[in-house]
Amino acid sequence: MTTLFIEADEPLLVFSSVEEAEQHIEAADVRDGIYTRAFGRAGEPYSITTEGECVVIRPIEKPADPESLRELLRRSLQGVGQMVPHDADLPALVAATEAFWTKRQRFVSAASRWSCIVLIVMLGGLAMFVWA
């Protein structure tokens, strides 16, 4: 699995694979320059481009930049209220970021399921009221 960290105006997006990122990122946002940098787990840089309406993410033939990824992850974790030791190394920051995003995704998925259930119940109630 190749975790991909993408710096954006959010300030960070985390995807479990390049393919997942390509499916979720919108080509218009790429063209608008919203995604400024992308890194693999060890700081290896990736490019984010478009081919028509498809997003294309590929490794860049440059040396890894672990310090830039380390600062991005530290800033992002601090931005969401996570305590981050100043001397945290890159593997610790990667693990903390992945754990935070996994927890966040579970919460969003659960909230989405409950929202759908509530909507179905409300529509059922409305239908009963209209036909009564």
Q: Between 1 and 70, where is the model more confident?
A: 70
User: Which pLDDT tens digit goes with each residue over 5-59?
Assistant: 999 987 699 999 999 999 999 999 999 999 989 999 999 999 999 999 999 999 9
- Residues of the domain holding 110: 4-131
Spatial distance between the Cα atoms of 116 and 109, rounded to a whole number of angstroms:
11
Phi, psi torsion values for 2, nearest 5 degrees: -110, 100
pLDDT at position 95 over 50: yes
Q: pLDDT band for position 64 (50/70/90)?
A: very high
Number of compact structural domains in the chain: 1
Query: In the numeric block, which tokens belong to residue 51?
Result: 């081919």
Q: Are 4 and 39 spatial neighbours (Cβ–Cβ below 8 Å)? A: yes
Rounded to two decimals, what is the model's pTM?
A: 0.74
**What is the rounded average pLDDT of the residues 75-103?**
88
